[in-house]
A and B are shown apart, each in its own frame.
Chain A
Amino acid sequence: GEDVEQSLFLSVREGDSSVINCTYTDSSSTYLYWYKQEPGAGLQLLTYIFSNMDMKQDQRLTVLLNKKDKHLSLRIADTQTGDSAIYFCAEIVNYIPTFGRGTSLIVHP
């Protein structure tokens, strides 16, 4: 895989929607992932999308994939203080996972 890029920080108010963006560079990626890391813990898979899909919704989470622009986004509806964490996007190409640097989501009450 090549570089996966994300913005480093996002600050939102509780109850608002959060949108975390990611750009990947390998068009042969078959699966793209969003992981969450809380302080002092390992990564937890939130959701993933297969490359032939444009959108996937799972409760408060919506993933959008724009394959032409190699752009992936994660929308969290009704963001809660418990959603504060670092969010990583990732791709796997030829069995090799590549993660972005992570976006720190800070939710203000």
Chain B
Amino acid sequence: DSGVTQTPKHLITATGQRVTLRCSPRSGDLSVYWYQQSLDQGLQFLIQYYNGEERAKGNILERFSAQQFPDLHSELNLSSLELGDSALYFCASSALSGGSYEQYFGPGTRLTVT
């Protein structure tokens, strides 16, 4: 158990819909990362937040957005969903920001768009 929690574990929704994925980082961690894992694209970094502020942005679509709240939990919002958005979405947290800080991954949310 990494100490990172993600809800829900599974989500099935239809094209065009909007969903919110939630992540609670390990106690004391200030940095949160979001990833998308699919067979086509592998593991893709989406976005990072550090203490409430966006720190780095990767291959995140404009239909996707995220935020980190004052209690440090984070939400990833996916809108106008397409079939190709079906994937595993992971959240990870680290104590601070930067390469020397180990990222701890949550168990993931499996999103299926039908």
Contacts and interface: CB of A to CB of B under 8 A. Distances in A.
A102 B42 contact: yes
B102 A45 contact: yes
A5 to B, nearest CB: 11
A42 B42 contact: no
A59 interface: no
A95 to B, nearest CB: 4
A43 B112 CA distance: 20
Contacts of A92: 98-99
B106 interface: yes
A100 B90 contact: no
A96 B106 CA distance: 19
Instruction: Pick from A30, A45, A48, A50 the residue with the most CB of B within 10 Å.
Output: A45
A57 interface: no
A44 B105 contact: yes
A102 to B, nearest CB: 7
B90 A43 contact: yes
Given A42-B106, A42-B108, A30 B42 contact: no
A9 to B, nearest CB: 14
Interface of A: 30-31, 40-45, 48, 50, 88, 92, 94-102
